[in-house]
A and B are shown apart, each in its own frame.
Chain A
Amino acid sequence: MKAGSKLEQALVEGRFAVTSEIGPPKSVDAEVVRRKARLLRDHALAANITDNPTGVVRMASIACGLMALQEGMEPIVQVTCRDRNRMAIQSDLLGAAAMGIKNVLCLTGDHPSLGNHPQSKPVFDLDSLQLTQMVRNMRDEKQFQNGEELNPEPRLFVGAVENPFGHPLQFRSVRLAKKVNAGADFIQTQLIFNIKRFREWMQEVRDRGIHERVYILAGVGPIRSAGAARFMRDRVPGMDVPEEVVQRMAGVERNEARKEGIKICVETIQELREMEGIAGIHIMALEWEEAVGEIVETAGLKPLPMRLAASVSPER
């Protein structure tokens, strides 16, 4: 075991893992985090704590992670390169690990120009790959980024993300391989609506044998309305929402929309579960945490752990 988190444990044991997500508040209202943690803890193994998502300033992810931990929800602390340089990130991680955080997810981060402080100076001292490699080296090589010795080292289970729908498409499995080479232990993917494209990507991933070196958690989430579907299709960078999904959402009565969104999500999960190389599901409820329980139940992912995911057996 690298970090000994519940997530790591489940994955190593070959259990089909479910993770979810907690968005920190735009205030010091700790109860927001605690409530979400309580809401999710029975449905997911661990929850991502987002780091100023979409470039909007919110409560620090490490702090929220600690609160989630107190509520019995294992946090996966997100770390982005947008607003901290390699010094800040390393010191934060030392603190996080010291306080008992065991999972970290390394991201590039959304550009500040998309957020609520567009005039701030974008940092991007590192990119997500370099970040992943740095965290892995802190743990495995016991080294700071500059090569200095780090002892004792932070024991962190290192995650990274990949967007199978980003362009150029041909490069996406290559980039995944790079992340695994950089040291990613697990991968969470972008929200999947275009199953066809995801299937193609997974094929490439399997062709390269990457699925045998990393745990891939497929990203899903319920859509709340046709408007939300269109918004995600047209406005959210890196999202691929096919026309038929929009049509399906538009085809039902307004008050039935949420139900339909959950239905689509569940169907997606069921398709994903059958795919070779998928080690779990990452449910992003996007401020609709109440839906997670229903999804997990309807999709038959409960009780946790559900079953051994036969196709996943990473040899590390």
Chain B
Amino acid sequence: MQQNGATGARVVGAALVVGGGIAGMQAALDLAESGIQVYLLEKSPWIGGRMAQLDKTFPTNDCAMCIMSPRLVECSRHHNIQIISNADVVSLTGEAGDFTATIRKRARYVDEAKCTGCGICIAKCPWKTDSEFNLGLSKRKAIYTPFAQAVPNVPFIDTDLCMYFKRGTCKACVMFCELGAIDLGQQDQYMELEVGAVILAPGSDIYDAGLSEEFGFGRYPNVLTSLQFERLLSAAGPTQGSILRPSDGVEPRKIAWFQCVGSRDQEHPYCSAVCCMYATKEAMLAKEHLPPGAEFTIFLMDLRAFGKGFDAYFQRAQEEGIRYVRCRASALTEVPGSKSLLLQYENERGELLTEEFDMVALSVGMTAPKGVSELAAATGVALNSFGFGDSSPSTPLETSRPGVYLCGTFRGPKDIPDSVTEASGAAGEVQRLLASGRGTLVSPKEFPAEMSQVGEEPRVGVFVCHCGSNIAGVVDVEEVARRARELPGVVYTDHVMFACSTDSLKAMREAIVEHRLNRVVMASCSPRTHEPLFQENVREVGLNPYLYEMANIRDQCSWVHGDRHDEATDKARKLVAMAVARSCHLEPLYKLPQGLSDRALVVGGGVAGMTAALSLAEQGFPVVLVERESQLGGLLLEHDTLSSGRDSREQVSQLVERVQANQNVEVLTDSQVVSSIGFVGNFKTRVASRSDPTQRLVEHGVTIIATGGREYRGDEHLLGQHPGVVTMGDLEKALKSDDPRLRQAKRIVVIQCVGPWDEQPFYCSRVCCTVTMKNILRLKEINPSCQVVVLYKDIRTYGAREEMYTEARRAGAIFVRYTDDDQPVVQAAGEALEVSFTEPSLGERLTLAADLLVSSNALVPSAGAEELSRVFKVPLGREGFFQEAHSKLRPVDFASDGAFLCGVAHYPKSVEEAIIQGKAAAARACRVISQDELMVGGVVASVEEEKCTACLTCVRICPYNVPIIRDGVAIIEAAACQGCGICVGECPAKAIQLLHYRDDQVLAKIEGLVELMAAGSVAR
């Protein structure tokens, strides 16, 4: 049954994820959540990877750190994830299901167990060098962390810079560390890990711009890389978000971006896939940052806006005045004195122009990561000719070695959502491989029974942390602790040097027991980083973790009021009083187990749907696969070959066979979903079949929507009116049936980007350019003398697909660019056609006779998408495709729990991408249905039925469509509630409360403050 299951007898329920960037983190979390122990190995001393360096992300302009740092924290505290940073893989022996990985953990010189991340060592270290994180735009110390949210929050000593390692002197860090965490004698450690599978996600490097000497990077101070520019944009970056010229610190008025630096050239014959969009983003953000009047120009060959929402983003950039010049910039000179930069270039009309810029950003491409050959050698996997990880298009996430998978930019250049999708997909592969070992190596932490606090008056214990001198250096910690004793409910106070140190945690536990504390207030650092630790600590002595409250007197007090000790102490007292007041109102909350169905409902039987279904079925989950048509296969049924060269029939029929052979999959063809109710883990969906009018009721835990799309059929370019005009899909059929017209044609004209653009804004169908290249090569194969002319707007052969473009050109295809304002015109000329268009370099209109005109028509959403979006209460996006929860980090989830999407239903994509997404959706779904029960509750909305007037406000306002009205009252399923409290803030009957953030609990903070102020002992 488990066709891809491990072959050996032993299946180890653990996996090694190599690389702690966004892809590695995603894979680790997906695995950890589905019951697999994860070792997350990171070469550098901290996880986070490239994304941590980005300011915002296209096309939503989401702040990169905002969306990523919760993932960092989640990885760092997940019980099933062990982060091994500053480490390399030395060797990997064994086989799929049962590997032994040898790891070298390089010396960090700081004891991770002892260090609390207080940062005093960094402050005291006297030695500075260029910051790698800020790419030389700022300095860092010899002992350092790269950014505030670093995980693990433990510094690292750069032995090349540290005076102790160079000369044997200094030791400032050792002297100031009160925890004795600095260990200058630390040695590299070797360890052996038993794992069932490995995921390689080491990422990529950026091209070394210094190698392109013509641009003067490194010589001309005002030539930056795009990543440096990203740091300039960042509010937390070296200039706090001011864009300043390195040469003189002046704001530039004219900035240019040069695309394809280290991409699409002889040495890098691939497209780096992200640069057009990030340059567009950087230009738009720069416009926001600089005073009006500044000019922004992007020099590019093709605008590769091939992803969801990208074209709209590009449109916005143009509206905002970002200038795009179609020209590959070739060299720069610096203007002596001003240090501005002169560019000579030829525009599309062939005119030679010279333009001066104050600053130039080089849009550097992605290259294989440094040290990749060592990693490949150690893990025994093959690399491709560019040095990226190698895989086959039909098994895109498998390396050459069974049991070792790959994802992210290590597989080739790609953006964040594609990396995240691949990471989930790779996790899906591992879940499948290790299905029988799931849950064997992870065990939930055992806690003692909770103390009962029923009927007890609050007995609050307040612990005030010095955080070394971080807090105590500013705030009079002892005074804060002493005065806290006066607050109502407080029976115990203490102040500790480092609350998060092992000793202090133990002392806290003892105090809770000894003084029968039933509320604990910690006045220390940020709850975002430390709350889980302290909550777990109180739980260890039987106190419900929701009876714990925190006052942030460090990040939001001592650190920002360092020059005002008395006022900072007053503020700390207020924060403590507020926390104490709230703590008295806290009540224990429990996450309760709720049963669930482990069945998945997959809607749509194309490649993505079948892949997702199989991925789950092969690990033993029952799957119902609903297909509207009478046979499985979807869009691919009518295709000829895939861009990989593989026969599509073969690909489809193999999948169909596997689906049909798998007894865990129940296939319902000729069927459609009629209605669906329920919530994550417990959906009930009715499916009607064309042949059998009785509706099937399917009970399922998760839903995967994979309803694909269809080729647009309009009447543009005489389609449907002249037999010589066919769509890209028709051409596939013609190729498949060996249509004699193809062998006879003397000239075939292909027009790209045809769609219903009179009715809706243009979007890129992502696959057409690549398919056109594939078809050119196929046509040249069967009819070498045929001339193929491609009229295009932009060629968007992103990633390695660029090579096919190169090949197509080599094969003699002619490419002519057209614009929206100057479209090609097709006219009938008897049986043949005449196509006229403007040749931009000549600036003249040409007319060509053609035997066949291929219209590359857009992929549009499938006809039933709107209906389905209503049935499942999941949204559609602007283009009519289904809208994922978050375009960057939750690319295959819907916002509502338990619903996922994949394939063209999400957006047009290649077969390879659809397979990856299918696997990714399965992996995400597996996180849910691999649980024996869902733990439900905690911070969720709760309805007081007697008060509810069924006014529907919550039903209407909830962004996740969770509340429903049943029997005259609102029901909010705890399993589905996301805990935002939007409905709570709106309910006119006050019938809904957000647990842990009840009105009285929120207002208690204000009352605590008011009472303290009224007492008069604290300054206003």
Let me know if chains A and B touch directly in the complex, using CB atoms closer than 8 Å: no
